[in-house]
Chains A and B, each alone.
Chain A
Amino acid sequence: AQSVAQPEDQVNVAEGNPLTVKCTYSVSGNPYLFWYVQYPNRGLQFLLKYITGDNLVKGSYGFEAEFNKSQTSFHLKKPSALVSDSALYFCAVYSSASKIIFGSGTRLSIRP
């Protein structure tokens, strides 16, 4: 069965420190991977995606993610966190064998 896991409900980081939000997946075929961010009372906003090519993908607001095929992971990273990065982050995966599936979300909290 196709699935996406975000193992951490919440991640807490001090401003200026690096952050990582984890995502692992299980799909048949080649995955297309996405990260979205949701601010309070708003819809999801696209951050970045991996389709093919370079495993390190750069996206909006200084975020990047690394596709690791052997570990079936697509962790979201940022070298230096900002308070304004505090939000709910969703990983999503699509493959030709399934419709798009979203993870359960990780709440990122950046303390000043």
Chain B
Amino acid sequence: DAGVIQSPRHEVTEMGQEVTLRCKPISGHNSLFWYRQTMMRGLELLIYFNNNVPIDDSGMPEDRFSAKMPNASFSTLKIQPSEPRDSAVYFCASSFRGWNTEAFFGQGTRLTVV
């Protein structure tokens, strides 16, 4: 398996534009996580899906953020409209079964909003 695949690796966009980040989890994993990493706030969990269903979205910062998982092999994180403070590295991770099994992380998407 190629691991968790995220695209794009880098994204530069202007404030107010819509941004969509994509993730393909490891086949057979039933849990998917979106994280955000910044120098100021460290690693923050945004949302957790189990069997394609959002279980915990309490980390989603505000309504501008939304995430979907239409099937077991694909998830998106959308920011609309984007703001400069959204600049961060966004990681997708998957695990075989929930919180208590090790997570495998993608290489991340570095988002810069100017």
A interface residues (Cβ-Cβ under 8 A, vs B): 32, 34, 36, 41-46, 49, 51, 90, 94, 99-100, 102-105
Residues of B within 8 A of A45 (CB): 105
Residues of A within 8 A of B4 (CB): 43
Would A102 and B108 count as touching, CB distance under 8 A? no
Considering only residues 21-73 of chain B, those with a C-beta below 8 Å from chain A are 42-43, 45, 48, 56, 58
Subset of 14 A-B contacts with CB under 8 Å: A41-B108, A43-B91, A43-B93, A43-B106, A43-B108, A44-B91, A46-B104, A49-B102, A94-B99, A99-B58, A102-B45, A104-B42, A105-B42, A105-B43
B interface residues (Cβ-Cβ under 8 A, vs A): 4, 42-43, 45, 48, 56, 58, 91, 93, 99-100, 102-108
Residues of A within 8 A of B91 (CB): 43-44
Would A46 and B43 count as touching, CB distance under 8 A? no
Would A41 and B107 count as touching, CB distance under 8 A? yes
Residue in A closest to B44 when the chains form the complex, CB atoms: A102
Q: How far is it, in angstroms, between the C-alpha of A90 and the C-alpha of B99 when the chains are bound?
A: 16
Would B107 and A42 count as touching, CB distance under 8 A? yes
Q: How far is it, in angstroms, between the C-alpha of A104 and the C-alpha of B39 when the chains are bound?
A: 10
Chain A at the B interface: mostly helix, strand, loop or mixed?
strand
The 7 A-B pairs at the shortest CB distance, nearest first, are namely: A43-B105, A46-B102, A102-B43, A94-B99, A44-B105, A32-B100, A104-B42
Residue in B closest to A103 when the chains form the complex, CB atoms: B42
How far in angstroms is the closest Cβ of chain B from A60? 11
Q: How far is it, in angstroms, between the C-alpha of A91 and the C-alpha of B94 when the chains are bound?
A: 18
Q: How far is it, in angstroms, between the C-alpha of A94 and the C-alpha of B103 when the chains are bound?
A: 12
Residues of A within 8 A of B102 (CB): 34, 46, 49
How far in angstroms is the closest Cβ of chain A from B23? 11
Residue in A closest to B105 when the chains form the complex, CB atoms: A43
For A32, A36, A51, A99, the residue with the greatest tally of chain B CB atoms inside 10 Å of its CB is A99
How far in angstroms is the closest Cβ of chain B from A107? 12
